[in-house]
A and B are shown apart, each in its own frame.
Chain A
Amino acid sequence: MSEHHGPAKGIKRWIFATNHKDIGTLYLWFSFAMFIIGGAFAMIIRAELFQPGLQMISPEFFNQMTTMHGLVMVFGAIMPSFVGLANWLIPMMIGAPDMALPRMNNLSFWLLPFAFTVLLSSLFMEGGAPNFGWTFYAPLSTTYAPPSVTFFIFGVHLMGASSIMGSINIIATVMNMRAPGMTYMKMPLFVWTWLITAFLLVAVMPVLAGAVTMMLMDIHFGTSFFNAAGGGDPVLFQHVFWFFGHPEVYIIILPAFGVVSQIIPAFSRKPLFGYDSMVYATASIAFLSFIVWAHHMYTVGMPIAGELFFMYATMLIAVPTGVKVFNWITTMFKGSITFETPMLFSIGFVFLFTIGGFTGLMLAIAPADVQYHDSYFVVAHFHYVMVAGAVFSMSAAIYYWLPKWCGRMYDETMGKVHFWIAFIGFNIAFFPQHFVGLAGMPRRIPDYALQFTDFNMMSSIGAFIYGAAQILFLFNVIRTIVAGKKVDDPQVWEGAQGLEWTIPTPAPYHTFTTPPQVK
């Protein structure tokens, strides 16, 4: 029996991995690679939109870029990055030696590189890559789709299988592997948000699988789920998709909530304000996420009763979200705050995510949404939530826990520079999009009316600045891992709370082979 074995040598360590830290590392690097690829697609989009008229790429290729940018960022960058974080942190936070089902953990990861190889290879196929938008509405994705849609469908099946297995693993770990004394209401909030996220994933990924399976049947086997000629309905696709798609939004943002709920108390040197209400708010958001999906579809011609129901249900989400924002701010209130990079990103998160939340409220109002629908206002809204929400909190998480993981401190100045470039670049890129959107610029179109030129140029410049900031981030992370200043204090940050700060720094290959006692 091997109780004190270290990592295996060479490539075997990674492809045969069962260690939660190794698999977490794999997830994080994979998601960063996808972040770079998806970011490159975004740069192509912004370069094309720098000036009106068709400048660099064909409209067909532009459609492929918007589609692939969305798919790669959502399924390849953001989701796996938080699974990577979960792998690294959950066992250390609850006092477990590893994830509950380590071999399945490895399978969850290794499905992803295959899935994305299949998806990205469609760029080189006859007829081009998927070009129907990341929401792949029928009949664009069925009757009028390029042949590569078949590869896309199976790619989505693989990602879904990976997510379901990863989530089952997280649920089993949290329910079954907590150290003695670690009751549910003592768990760090990151663990709570991930437990609820995992539940959402197990509930809605199968629905996505059902949606793409029906597409596959319509394309290849002559069924008519999404074809009115046979008695089906293209709008049915949107209902099924958004039944998955709206919880998916919270799947992306809930772990981000968890991250900032760990970091803000640490740098405010105060315990999190309203822990219980944070837990209940998270659960409420998860519940509401199942009954609001059609707010993405106000303009498809739903009955008025449906529009009203989904409008009011959507607005309800503002209540638990408001509780969260209130709690983060109240945690900082009268704290002895210092502004290290993770804290800067967390405060940036709270500020910008709240803006994204407010624009979300505007979009929730059915009669107003008829004007905003499919405009750049929507693009601005969800980038405030996805980028300034999920990606900012991910950056915060990396700076916060990287010293614990590798025993070396990142360069604080470079980290702060990264934050400010990212923050300014992000706002230059996306704030003007609110205005062009309200003025009527539609999304997913490679050309635009002349009066939108100035704001689009600003947007593009901001996007390039934000993109450049990520290169600095990559450099800082690599520099930290190979040459950062050594840290050996288990605490790392003086205000940090939780079991992961009680083990040595860097975190040993196996932690908690005997369970810690939690008082």
Chain B
Amino acid sequence: MTAQTGGADTYYVPEQSRLAICLATSVAVLILGAAIGLNQMTFGSGDANWTMLWLGLLGFVVILAVWFRQTIVENRAGMNSAQLKHSYALGMQWFIFSEVMFFACFFGVLFYVRNLAGPWLGGEGAKLMTNEVLWPAFDFSWPMQTTPQEAVGGVADQIPANTGTFVGPKESVSWSGIPLINTILLLTSSVTCHFAHVALKADKRSAFNLWLGLTLILGFTFVGFQAYEYYEAYNHLGLTLEAGIYGSTFFILTGFHGFHVCMGAIMLSVQWLRSTVGGHFTPDDQFGFEASSWYWHFVDVVWVGLFLFVYIL
């Protein structure tokens, strides 16, 4: 266990820890399993073997849980100085910043494709000959329902770059159905999450549990609707990963967002269990919940961007 001294004039001196090397090992098993499995899936002849991936993932989740548990135990034992707590808070804030940049990357891709690359493929401006020579009959519109490949009549009679098979979707996803409901759900959940925070600061335990529980229900309902939307996209709209750039950007943005919602919901669930079962948190020491709630608000803001740029515009 880490020894941390608490006084104002002494610093925290860490002890050795097995956690990091175990986590690094499990991550290495995880990525090796993923790479081996994916290569068997794409380049191999038989079925892909995912055993190593699952083993690595199991190890990763278990060790991460042990790690977080240890930090919680240390904090509840009063071992964390105010300075160390602030370090944890900084760590979480900058982690969220890195996540912002991760999503910024995919939003950048979307903007580039819609405003530059797509029109160029359609022959806009100085790129007239790109369209005339390479992709005749391709007209750019968004959502892209006919890919350049379809416009020139398939894979066979085209330049070497015409590889893979990309069939555009029959329909795009309308913003007014599930996405609108999901927007309302997620925005509401950010508000309930904030109410939970206020309740905790006012030391109203049962109100906190209630508001946070409500947040979780809203969050998981969002994930359920999202799963249903994917089911519809694949089975009725012809909107798949292979459906050209519209499908690619749609799924990478909503997919990573959905994954982050799941992460945030799991984090908040842990906080809910800590409060209801463990009786953790006090009005002035609640970092586990605060960090999770920051993450939740971040996920919410990303969704607003998605709703605007992926669904409406």
Q: Which residues of A contact B (CB under 8 A)?
A: 1-3, 5, 8, 12-13, 15-19, 96-98, 100-104, 106-107, 109-111, 114, 117-118, 139, 143, 147, 150-151, 153-155, 157-158, 161, 164, 167-169, 171-173, 175-177, 202-207, 209-211, 213-214, 216-217, 219-225, 227-236, 239-240, 243, 303, 510, 512-515
Contacts and interface: CB of A to CB of B under 8 A. Distances in A.
Contact of B43 (A12, A147, A205, A227): A147
Nearest to B24: A110
Contacts, number: 257
B15 A231 contact: no
A203 B101 contact: yes
A103 B24 contact: no
B13 A2 contact: yes
A81 to B, nearest CB: 20
A228 B94 contact: no
B87 A222 contact: no
B164 A96 contact: no
Contact of B104 (A111, A207, A219): A207
B101 A220 contact: no
B20 A103 contact: yes
Contacts of A3: 3, 5, 10, 13
B90 A206 contact: no
Contacts of A515: 9, 11
A154 B31 contact: yes
Nearest to A234: B161
A478 to B, nearest CB: 26
Interface string B144-182: 100111000001001001111110000000000000000
Interface residues of B, number: 83
B46 interface: no
Nearest to A103: B17
Nearest to A15: B21
Given A224-B147, A231-B147, A107 B108 contact: no
A380 B142 CA distance: 44
26 contacts: A3-B5, A5-B15, A96-B11, A97-B12, A103-B20, A107-B19, A107-B24, A164-B95, A171-B90, A173-B87, A175-B90, A177-B11, A202-B94, A202-B101, A203-B101, A210-B109, A219-B42, A222-B242, A223-B247, A224-B147, A227-B161, A228-B135, A229-B158, A232-B248, A233-B120, A243-B108
Nearest to B90: A172
B97 A203 contact: yes
Contacts of A168: 90-91, 94-95, 98
A225 B241 CA distance: 10
Interface of B: 2-3, 5, 9-21, 23-25, 27-28, 31-32, 34-35, 38-39, 41-43, 67, 83-84, 86-88, 90-91, 94-95, 97-99, 101-102, 104-106, 108-109, 112-113, 117-118, 120-121, 125-126, 134-135, 144, 147-149, 155, 158, 161-166, 240-242, 244-249, 251-252
A515 B21 CA distance: 30
Nearest to A5: B15
A2 B249 CA distance: 53
A216 B126 CA distance: 32
A228 B35 contact: no
Given A98-B14, A111-B24, A239-B112, A207 B101 contact: yes
A321 to B, nearest CB: 25
Contacts of A239: 108, 112
Contacts of B155: 229
Contacts of A221: 241
Given A210-B106, A230-B149, A114 B25 contact: yes
A202 B41 contact: no
Nearest to B165: A222
Given A171-B90, A224-B164, A147 B39 contact: yes
Contact of B121 (A111, A155, A209, A231): A231
Contacts of A303: 125-126
Best-buried of B99, B101, B240 by chain A (most CB within 10 Å):
B101
B208 to A, nearest CB: 28
A231 B108 CA distance: 16
Given A206-B102, A228-B134, A114 B20 contact: no
Contact of A102 (B14, B97, B158, B251): B14
Contacts of A164: 95, 98
A234 B109 CA distance: 12
A161 B112 CA distance: 26
Nearest to A91: B11
B252 A214 contact: yes
Given A203-B101, A220-B42, A230-B147, A139 B15 contact: no
A214 B255 CA distance: 13
Contacts of B163: 139, 143, 227, 229
Given A18-B15, A231-B147, A114 B9 contact: no
Given A164-B95, A227-B164, 16 more contacts: A2-B13, A2-B15, A12-B16, A103-B20, A109-B20, A110-B21, A118-B32, A150-B35, A158-B28, A158-B31, A209-B102, A210-B109, A224-B147, A229-B162, A231-B246, A232-B113
Nearest to B70: A103
Nearest to B5: A1
A86 to B, nearest CB: 15
A375 to B, nearest CB: 25
Contacts of A172: 87, 90-91, 94
Contacts of A217: 241, 248, 252
Given A154-B35, A223-B248, A229 B102 contact: no
B234 to A, nearest CB: 13
A176 B16 contact: no
Contact of A18 (B16, B88, B95, B251): B16
B245 A101 contact: no
Nearest to A202: B98
A228 B121 contact: yes
Given A18-B17, A150-B35, A221-B241, A229 B11 contact: no
A383 B164 CA distance: 38
A502 B164 CA distance: 64
Contacts of A214: 109, 252
Contacts of A1: 3, 5
CB-CB nearest 3 A-B residue pairs: A210-B105, A230-B166, A231-B245
Best-buried of B5, B20, B25, B39 by chain A (most CB within 10 Å):
B20
Contacts of B31: 118, 154-155, 157-158
Given A104-B91, A164-B98, A172-B90, A229 B13 contact: no
Nearest to A143: B163
B87 A101 contact: yes
Contact of B244 (A139, A209, A231, A236): A231
A303 B163 CA distance: 27
A229 B166 contact: yes
Given A101-B87, A229-B158, A240 B25 contact: no
Nearest to A244: B105
A106 B19 CA distance: 9
A472 to B, nearest CB: 33
A198 B157 CA distance: 49
B78 to A, nearest CB: 12
B245 A225 contact: yes
A508 to B, nearest CB: 12
B170 to A, nearest CB: 16
Nearest to A12: B16
A176 B94 CA distance: 13
